[in-house]
Amino acid sequence: MDGYILAIDQGTTGTKVLIFDHDANIKALAYSEFTQHYPRPGWVEHDAEEIWTVSINLVAEALSKANIQASEVRAIGITNQRETSMMWDRKTGQPIGRAIVWQDRRTAGICDDLKAQGLEDVFRRKTGLVVDAYFSGTKVKMAS
């Protein structure tokens, strides 16, 4: 089988793009860090537009290094930061602000309020998660 697999590893501090051949050999690797924003103590943010631009540039760089065309890519795999949360405008497709990174603690107060209301068991039963600012639910509440 001909073709390649392109993998995008969207990490907390940078993006890595790899291209693999059919035998899982790495044909190319491209990496770049992106800006970490710390607007207040305990807050960590990323600019979605910057991440998008970095990612697109790295895909082009990896394709060039591998000396292949985009049409030769048969699959793309993406890993991400999971609990980092980003809100988008439904009409424009533009981000409404910076992403709130998984490390961010700004919603700890919301979590404390949920705990004080005795909702930890309800939260765990419904989501399978503990009440903690790490998870995206309270980040989305904060952003909406």
What are the structural domains, with CATH classification, of the chain? 1-84 (3.30.420.40), 105-144 (no CATH)
| pTM for the model | 0.86
State the pLDDT at residue 141: 80
Q: Does residue 95 carry a pLDDT above 80? A: yes
Helices within 1-144 (DSSP H only) = 48-66, 108-116, 120-127, 136-143
Q: How confident is the model at residue 8 (pLDDT cuts 50, 70, 90)?
A: very high
State the pLDDT at residue 131: 94
Kind of pairing between the strands at 4-10 and 14-20:
antiparallel
- What are 42-72's pLDDT values in tens digits? 999 999 999 999 999 999 999 999 999 999 9
Of the listed ranges 97-101, 118-122, 138-142, the one predicted with least confidence: 138-142
Give the contacts of 4 (CB within 8 A, at least 6 positions apart). Answer: 19, 20, 21, 22, 27, 66, 68, 72, 73, 74
Q: Does residue 26 carry a pLDDT above 80? A: yes
Q: Does residue 29 carry a pLDDT above 70? A: yes
CA distance 117 to 120: 8
Average pLDDT estimate for 28-43: 97
Q: How confident is the model at residue 25 (pLDDT cuts 50, 70, 90)?
A: very high
Eight-class DSSP state of 90: T
Tell which wins on pLDDT, 1 or 82. Answer: 82
State the pLDDT at residue 140: 86
